């Protein structure tokens, strides 16, 4: 768990697509989807950056949650959900925000993922990545 401004962290990550997952330890849907983020963050290692945003949560509960569900990327502590609101989240848990490599927000998904495949599909669509092992800009189909 880190204390940092989410906007400042996103600026440091510019040049790499970023997936921001807003979660809370008390959120059952966050708990249900957390394994997908664990797995895909490892699969996309070096190609897509992941960032957690623990919002509207007790720090001790969040740290216990992270011990139970460890992730290989940082989570920013946001006890009042102010930072979440600054990036287009904070209205419902969980929320996932997708940024391209230029730092442009591509879209915001409200609600939890029910499969790893649906999260993977959104990552690829948002950041133009073709597969976890082979990140590159998508080619446009030739027009006929």
Q: Which residues contact 38 (CB under 8 A, 6 or more apart)?
A: 69, 70, 71, 72
> What strands lie across the sheet with 75-78, from one edge to the other?
75-78, 49-55, 18-23, 95-99, 105-110
Nearest to 90 by CA among 22, 29, 37: 22
How large is the average pLDDT for residues 52-70?
95
CATH code assigned at 121: 3.40.30.10
Q: What is the pLDDT of residues 82-107, one digit of tens each?
A: 999 888 887 889 999 999 999 999 99
- Residue 112 maps to a domain: yes
Q: Which residues contact 118 (CB under 8 A, 6 or more apart)?
A: none
- Residue 40 maps to a domain: yes
Q: What pLDDT, on the 0 to 100 scale, is given for residue 144?
A: 36
- Residue 136 maps to a domain: no
- Residue 11 maps to a domain: yes
- Residue 140 maps to a domain: no
Q: What pLDDT, on the 0 to 100 scale, is given for residue 136?
A: 46
- Residue 12 maps to a domain: yes
Which residue segment(s) compose the domain that 38 sits in? Answer: 6-127
Domain count for the chain: 1
* pTM (2 d.p.): 0.86
Residue 114 clears pLDDT 70, i.e. is over it: yes
């Amino acid at each position: 768990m880190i204390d940092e401004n989410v906007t400042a962290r996103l600026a440091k990550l510019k040049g790499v697509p970023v997936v921001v997952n807003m979660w809370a330890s008390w959120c059952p849907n966050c708990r249900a989807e957390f394994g997908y983020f664990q797995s895909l963050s490892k699969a996309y290692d070096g190609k897509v950056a992941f960032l957690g945003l623990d919002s509207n949560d007790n720090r001790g509960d969040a740290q216990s949650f992270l011990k139970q569900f460890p992730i290989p990327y940082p989570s920013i502590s946001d006890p009042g959900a102010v930072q979440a609101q600054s990036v287009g989240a904070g209205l419902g848990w969980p929320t996932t925000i997708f940024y391209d490599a230029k730092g442009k927000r591509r879209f915001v998904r409200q609600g939890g993922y029910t499969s790893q495949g649906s999260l993977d599909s959104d990552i690829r669509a948002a950041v133009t990545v073709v597969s976890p092992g082979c990140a590159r800009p998508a080619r446009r189909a030739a027009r006929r």
